[in-house]
């Protein structure tokens, strides 16, 4: 599962997907069902927004944990 993989990674993962917006919505739904994933954030890649979603841990854009 992507969310488990993201939690195991140091900062998160990048996922290639033909529809990252739909993927993000599915992941938000899963996150609401399981509080284990509460610290994860779902960000469209700034360089590949139509094909990549970043699943990151609670780290802000300055590299500090929220």
Measured CA to CA, the distance from residue 65 to residue 4 in angstroms comes to: 19
Q: Which helix H or strand E contains 56, and what residues bound it?
A: strand 52-56
Q: Does 12 map to a domain? A: yes
Q: Does 46 map to a domain? A: yes
pLDDT attached to residue 58:
80
Q: Which residue has the higher pLDDT, 39 or 61?
A: 39
Q: Does 39 map to a domain? A: yes
Q: Which residue has the higher pLDDT, 58 or 56?
A: 56
CA quadruple 38, 40, 43, 47: dihedral, nearest 10: 180
Q: Which domain holds residue 10?
A: 2-56
- Residue ranges of alpha helices (H) inside the chain are 2-8, 20-33
Q: Which residue has the higher pLDDT, 5 or 65?
A: 5
């Amino acid at each position: 599962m992507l969310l488990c993989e993201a939690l195991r990674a140091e900062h998160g993962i990048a996922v290639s997907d033909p529809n990252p917006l739909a993927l993000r919505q599915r992941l938000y739904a899963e996150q609401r069902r399981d509080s284990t994933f509460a610290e994860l954030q779902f960000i469209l890649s700034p360089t590949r927004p139509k094909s990549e979603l970043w699943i990151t841990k609670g780290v802000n854009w300055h590299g500090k944990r929220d």
